[in-house]
């Protein structure tokens, strides 16, 4: 009961701050931007003066799998940045402004507070990501050739898990600091750190969440889900639960 009250309050807050309008729109634009640019690239080069005389450059039209992956690539950079900006003052802002004390002066369980906020942000982000990737998939079908819908669905589910992982990191960092800028910086630093570790020790850490985007890319081309991919999905879920638990524990021990 209590959980759903906090969740609904958070949803109302997203409606009031118009996040429910602009976040889906921004993800929609991220989803289709690259496909459109790629499609018009030869014409853009022509219009801006063209190639020098005699230079013959053929820009091959990318296969559909690669075209859909461009949307995911866009989410990997700009999408992560937007999620970081959305989550930077989620709990930190309330710690700072004193709303947090107000909320917890009532008998609210820390676990309810953290998980409800996490679920609210996840709903917003996953819905927006779904819209963006769906648009990207639609444009891929129109411009670059057919791609089965199950590929889109699996890509959404698996990459969505990576976005959830990042949201969880951001929530975890939220419980440490009161300054939103610091939270944004640290959560992005942590996800970069995960990716760097994965690229250095990738041979050992085949189940690291940092592999998700490359596994999704491989899946889009081949169409089989490898055991490494299942392993990665498992680790990511475990890490999400662990980080949420840690966030609750940190918040409990926090002096106000």
Partner 1 sequence: MFEINWALLAPLFIVEFILLAVALIDLIRIDETNGPKWVWAVICIFISILGPVLYFIFGRRP
Query: Whats the size of the chain, residue-wise?
Result: 256
Q: Which one of 7, 10, 32, 240 is in contact with partner 1 (CB under 8 A)?
A: 32
What's the CA gap between 117 and 255, in Å, rounded? 20
CB 184 within 8 A of CB 84: yes
- In whole angstroms, the minimum distance from the beta carbon of 43 to partner 1 comes to 5
Q: Is 109 in the site for partner 1 (CB under 8 A)?
A: no
Quick one: which of 5, 21, 103, 238 contacts partner 1 (CB under 8 A)? 21
Phi, psi (degrees; rounded to nearest 5) at 230: -60, -40
Among 15, 142, 200, 201, which residue sits at the site for partner 1 (rule: CB under 8 A)? Answer: 142
Phi, psi angle pair for 59, to nearest 5°? -95, 110
Among 18, 57, 59, 256, binds partner 1 (CB under 8 A): 18
Segment 66-105, which members bind partner 1 (CB under 8 A)?
82, 85, 89, 93, 97
At residue 100's C-alpha, the angle toward residues 97 and 106, to 5°, is: 140
Query: For residues 29 and 250, which CB has a smaller minimum distance to partner 1 in the complex?
Result: 29
Between the two ends of the chain, the Cα-to-Cα distance in Å is 26
Token output for 3: 């959980």
The contact set with partner 1 (CB under 8 A) reads 17-19, 21-22, 25-26, 28-29, 32, 36, 39, 43, 46-47, 82, 85, 89, 93, 97, 135, 142-143
């Amino acid at each position: 009961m209590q959980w759903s009250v906090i969740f609904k309050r958070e949803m109302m807050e997203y409606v009031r701050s118009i996040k429910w309008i602009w976040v889906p729109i921004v993800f929609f634009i991220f989803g289709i931007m690259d496909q459109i640019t790629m499609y018009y690239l030869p014409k853009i080069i022509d219009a801006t003066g063209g190639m020098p005389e005699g230079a013959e450059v053929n820009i091959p039209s990318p296969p559909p799998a690669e075209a859909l992956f461009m949307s995911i690539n866009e989410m990997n950079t700009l999408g992560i940045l937007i999620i970081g900006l959305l989550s930077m003052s989620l709990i930190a802002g309330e710690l700072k402004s004193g709303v947090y004390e107000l909320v917890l002066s009532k008998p609210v369980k820390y676990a309810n507070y953290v998980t409800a906020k996490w679920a609210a942000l996840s709903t917003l982000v996953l819905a927006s990501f779904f819209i963006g990737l769906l648009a990207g998939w639609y444009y891929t079908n129109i411009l670059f050739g057919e791609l089965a819908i199950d590929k889109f669905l699996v890509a959404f589910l698996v990459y969505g898990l990576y976005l959830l992982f990042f949201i969880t990191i951001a929530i975890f960092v939220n419980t440490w600091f009161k300054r939103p800028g610091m939270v944004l910086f640290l959560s992005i630093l942590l996800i970069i750190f995960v990716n760097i570790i994965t690229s250095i020790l990738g041979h050992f850490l085949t189940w690291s969440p940092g592999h998700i985007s490359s596994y999704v890319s491989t899946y889009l081309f081949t169409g089989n889900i490898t055991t490494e991919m299942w392993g990665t999905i498992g680790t990511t879920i475990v890490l999400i639960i662990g980080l949420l638990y840690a966030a609750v524990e940190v918040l409990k021990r926090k002096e106000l």
